[in-house]
Amino acid sequence: MEKSMGSKGKNLARLVEEKACSKKLQQEEEQRRIPYLPKDCIANILIRLPHNSLLKSMLVCKSWRNIIKSLNFVHDHLHRSDTVLIFRSWLPRSHNYYSSLTSRPNENPNSFSIEANYMQSQNIPILTRPTINYSSASYVKFMEFSNGKCEEGDYKISCLGMIRATCDGLILLDNRMKKGGLIVLNPVTRKLDPLPLGTLCPSHNESYGFALSKVSGVYKVVHLFRDELDFFHCEILSLGTRVWWPVYDPEPGLFGWLGYRPVFAIGSLHWVPFVDHSDYIVSMELNSQKFHKVSLPTSCTTHDRILEMHGSLCFIAHEEMTQINIWMLEGLSGHVWKQTFSITTGCMFDMVPLLSLKTSGDIIFERDEDYSLYRYHFELKEMRRIEVQENCAMSSNSYFAHVNSFISW
């Protein structure tokens, strides 16, 4: 009996070994049929793919995954990626947001809840999780522009907090699970990290900037806020040290309000300090952490904006009903603005500039009257209306310039 059992065991082992050997030979034969491509050649092909195709490509094989996750590839892909508009889209009232917060396994496995993942990372038991106001729940989406059209993209990410700032594919969100807290998120990789609390103040009395220091190579969050006595203060958090520290406060009277979001360009964050008729902008160099007053070439009115364009700071000003002038500032030294272009096509007094596309430099505008989007083509010297889905129309304050990347902090 024992000899019979031993014989069966040996036969089974031999069959398993033969099957494994046959499978190995089959794989080797398939590899011989596939033409060999050097790693650099594969990387050169993959770098041209959009982020959603790269996410699928990471599942093809370990070699491709390693290429896509490499630091050089991530940075090269970031610089090749064009600018998009990121925004929050409200969830339908019929949507059961509680299911995504509790992470039930049978509820839309492809969705990703910021709050659910935050509470899981903090080991908060389901029964002790805080009560949520579901009416403010939304999806994080984006719009990309090509061939005169606007296509809506969906990260399948739900959240409760507002977007505060963006930088290199990272977004700064309110942490609604912790009063006054913030969360850094890469919506492509879905990696998130809660930040420690800074100075607490009402949202209408504060402004957040998010930027990469070229000197230290570290991402920094800048928090500018107004206290009860109407004095403005500033603190900075480095994602490397994760500690808030105070910096030089802006001079009294330099700011009137904090409604315009800051723009990062030429190594500095820039604010328009008043609602209307600002004769200057306020700039803060990220390295020296000091505020500077920079005079504008013409007064900034309601529909004028500052944008980052080709690495420079761009001021887009409505000079007349049918003319928009574009001024460029290449550096803070000397504060010299140069008029580089004039757009003269139709009535444009209520056209609000939203962003400059990185690859072409074309500017996306929104008409304040009906929230319709337009693209000015510099090569064609034409202003063309963009076809937009009905549910995408919203105020210019709801959009943030963004780029889809695999960047991590």
pLDDT tens column, 323-340: 999 999 988 887 789 999
Minimum mean pLDDT range among 4-18, 35-49, 64-78, 193-207: 4-18
Model pLDDT, residue 268: 94
φ/ψ of residue 17, rounded to 5: -65, -40
Alpha-carbon gap, residue 1 to 13, rounded angstroms: 19
Model pLDDT, residue 17: 78
Residue 32 reports pLDDT greater than 80:
no
Mean pLDDT, rounded, for 249-255: 92
Residue 122 reports pLDDT greater than 90:
no
In this predicted model, which residue has the larger pLDDT, 127 or 93?
Answer: 127
- Checking DSSP bridges between strand 291-300 and strand 338-343, what pairing results, if any? unpaired
Let me know: does 47 contact 67? Beta carbons within 8 Å. no
User: Quick one: which of 302, 348, 340, 341 has its CA closest to 323?
Assistant: 348
> What confidence tens digit (pLDDT) does each residue in 273-312 have?
998 889 999 999 998 899 999 999 999 999 999 999 988 9
Question: Where is mean pLDDT largest: 67-71, 108-112, 176-180, 260-264?
Answer: 260-264
User: Quick one: which of 158, 146, 139 has its CA closest to 84?
Assistant: 146
Alpha-carbon gap, residue 273 to 13, rounded angstroms: 77
Let me know: does 160 contact 114? Beta carbons within 8 Å. yes
Residue 74 reports pLDDT greater than 60:
yes
Mean pLDDT, rounded, for 66-81: 91
Residue 11 reports pLDDT greater than 90:
no
Strands (E), 97-168: 112-113, 138-146, 149-159, 163-167
Residue 121 reports pLDDT greater than 70:
yes
Residue 102 reports pLDDT greater than 50:
no
| High-pLDDT (> 90) share of the chain, % | 46
Looking at 217-320, list the stretches that DSSP marks H as alpha helix, in order from N- to C-terminal side. Answer: none
> What confidence tens digit (pLDDT) does each residue in 367-388 have?
988 888 999 999 888 999 988 7
Minimum mean pLDDT range among 35-39, 48-52, 83-87, 288-292: 35-39
Model pLDDT, residue 31: 58
Question: Where is mean pLDDT largest: 59-73, 99-113, 129-143?
Answer: 59-73
Domain boundaries, the chain: 37-80
Question: What's the predicted TM-score (pTM) here?
Answer: 0.84
Mean pLDDT of the chain: 85
φ/ψ of residue 42, rounded to 5: -65, -45
Model pLDDT, residue 272: 96
Residue 342 reports pLDDT greater than 50:
yes
Model pLDDT, residue 231: 92
CATH topology of domain 37-80: Monooxygenase (1.20.1280)
Question: Where is mean pLDDT largest: 45-49, 319-323, 340-344?
Answer: 340-344
Mean pLDDT, rounded, for 228-253: 92
